[in-house]
Amino acid sequence: MNQAARIILIGPMGAGKTTIGRQLAKTLGMDFMDSDHEIEERTGVNIPLIFDLEGEEGFRQREMDVIDDLSQRDRLILATGGGAVLKAENRQHLHDRGIVIYLHAGIDQLLNRTRHDRSRPLLQTENPRKKFEELMALREPLYRETAHITINTNRQSINHVVSEIISALEDFQY
């Protein structure tokens, strides 16, 4: 992998982008950043508050600005928010500026991983399963369109997924 390598992790909330991204960065000796954490850092408030004050559209604009910036940094593993693929400009930047890996997980697994997390505004609903189904119906084609590589994270250990990613990267012709 070249010195300017960028690996970008996309997928739904609960797919493991942050957890796997941190371990992958440690393994490969690269920096790690999470676009959602960076938005919180830059604004000084958490994402649920941004949603409350600015709505999803306001958040998506902030997300687009952060992704534009971070996707140009060298030797970086970037974990994006689940909805980052909704904007065509994000999809283009991510696809063109790095190796995009779609971390895929089934809805049962995603529900299990996010069931106690109150920091996810889109899941604060009576029926989180229905919300995941709606989100995936919209986003799944966008994840697949944007990604160079797809990795399934269902019931896989972090180390197994990291090994699978490294193997896929070795085989990947950029």
Q: Output the pLDDT for position 3.
A: 46
Look at residue 172 and tell me if it is in a domain: no
Residue 169 lies in a domain: no
% of the chain beyond a pLDDT of 70: 90
CB 7 within 8 A of CB 24: yes
- Asked if the structure places residue 167 within a domain, the reply is no
Residue 28 has φ and ψ, to the nearest 5°, of: -90, -5
Distance separating alpha carbons of residues 31 and 34, to the nearest angstrom: 10
pLDDT digits (tens, 9 = 90+) for 107-130: 988 888 777 666 665 566 678 789
CATH code for position 118: 3.40.50.300
Q: What integer pLDDT is reported at residue 57 of this predicted model?
A: 92
pTM (two decimals): 0.92
Structural domain contains residue 174: no
Residue 170 counted as domain residue = no
What single-letter amino acid sits at 93?
A: H
Task: Pinpoint the alpha helices (H) of the chain.
Answer: 17-28, 35-43, 47-70, 88-97, 107-114, 128-146, 158-171
| Number of separate domains in the chain | 1
- Extract the residue ranges of the chain whose pLDDT is less than 70: 1-4, 116-125, 174
Render pLDDT for 76-100 as a digit per residue (tens, 0 to 9): 999 999 999 999 999 999 999 999 9
Task: Show the domain range for 125.
Answer: 6-162
